[in-house]
Homo-oligomer: A and B are copies of this chain.
Amino acid sequence: MPHRDDSVETIQQEMTAFARRARATAARMHPELSLVSYTLLAHLDDQRGCRATDLAAHYFLDKSTVSRQIAALEKLGFVERRVDPDDHRVQVLHPTEKGAQVLANVTASRRQAFHERLADWDETDLDRFATYLRRYNAAQERLG
């Protein structure tokens, strides 16, 4: 068993390497929907609609960034805005039929890529890895 410091060092290096590559990989795999757009659209789908402000808070993005991303998704016909009748400042965002369809395609293809990468892992390892990642990200959210 390696010393605690060595493990932390490895985790740091590997997480960094992964992050460095994620965007390029995503762009190569899905030119029609960038990593950011995908994530935002997936969140809308998952939450059955939410506000731009919620997206910004959840992904640590500036509201202007979200505003432009949403505008782009709307232009592509992937997202629609419904003004909240109780508060006219608020726009509740939803994936359109078309947006949901594209999202489903990209999700399926991403899922397949992950399945390929993890094909030779046994269930115990998969389960543990998933748990560790969730735990790590939760800690990061908590600590900034």
Q: Mark A residues whose CB is within 8 Å of B.
A: 1-2, 4, 6-12, 14-25, 35-36, 39, 59-61, 110-111, 113-118, 121, 123-130, 132-137, 139-140, 143-144
Contact = CB atoms under 8 A, between A and B. Distances in A.
Contacts of A110: 12
Nearest to A46: B13
B23 A130 contact: no
Contact of A127 (B7, B17, B39, B113): B7
A117 B132 contact: no
A18 B20 contact: no
18 contacts: A1-B123, A2-B127, A7-B126, A10-B134, A11-B118, A12-B111, A12-B114, A14-B130, A14-B133, A18-B19, A19-B23, A19-B35, A20-B59, A125-B132, A128-B128, A129-B129, A129-B132, A132-B132
Contact of A11 (B36, B133, B144): B133
Residue of A23, A111, A113, A132 with most chain B CB atoms under a 10 A cut-off: A132
Contacts of A12: 110-111, 114
